[in-house]
């Protein structure tokens, strides 16, 4: 647990940069869909929803990067990231059985990040 607490700044920066990579969904929604789920959505609504999805995920990544050097925001930002990533994990596990293979990398990354962030929050609670 100490290793996570002592290294939370670089952990937040790296996970934030990786999370920000979902900005690609805001720029190229069909490419992002194909990479994660296969070509399953088309039309104007899909374009709007997927672009919004990518932008919101990138926003969480930006918050992680921003908050890395600001310990006073760690608890809030890490909590937001845990909720966001957990929601994605749960939704894919419940509704996305057809997409497990393509979404595996994102799922493994998000599960790992949720665990690390939870470890930090549990270990750091003594300071608050």
98 pLDDT band, cuts 50/70/90, is confident
Q: What is the pLDDT of residue 61?
A: 97
Token pair for 123: 């270990």
pLDDT in tens, 48-86: 988 999 999 999 999 999 999 999 999 999 999 999 999
Residue 16 neighbours by CB under 8 Å, 6+ apart: 61, 62, 63, 64, 65, 66, 68
Token pair for 12: 């937040």
| Residues 57 and 84 sit within 8 Å (Cβ to Cβ) | yes
pLDDT in tens, 21-38: 999 999 998 888 888 887
Residue pointed to by tokens 């497990």: 100
Q: What is the DSSP letter of 21?
A: T
pTM of full prediction above 0.85:
yes
Rounded average pLDDT over 3-20:
96
Q: How many CB atoms lie within 10 A of CB 118?
A: 15
Token pair for 5: 């607490």
Percent pLDDT > 90 in the chain is 70
127 pLDDT band, cuts 50/70/90, is low
CA 92 to centroid of chain Cα atoms: 13
Rounded average pLDDT over 80-107:
93
Over 80: is that where the pLDDT of 125 sits?
no
H-type alpha helices, 37-73: 44-68
Residue-level length of the chain: 128
């Amino acid at each position: 647990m100490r290793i996570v607490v002592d290294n939370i700044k670089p952990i937040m920066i790296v996970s934030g940069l990786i999370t920000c990579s979902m900005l690609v969904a805001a720029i190229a929604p069909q490419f992002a869909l194909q990479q994660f789920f296969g070509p399953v959505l088309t039309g104007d609504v899909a374009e709007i929803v997927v672009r919004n999805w990518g932008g919101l995920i990138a926003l969480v990544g930006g918050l992680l990067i921003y908050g890395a050097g600001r310990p006073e925001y760690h608890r809030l930002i890490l909590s937001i990231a845990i909720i966001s990533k957990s929601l994605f994990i749960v939704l894919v596990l419940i509704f996305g059985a057809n997409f497990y293979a393509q979404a595996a990398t994102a799922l493994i990354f998000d599960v790992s990040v949720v665990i690390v962030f939870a470890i930090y929050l549990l270990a750091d609670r003594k300071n608050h």
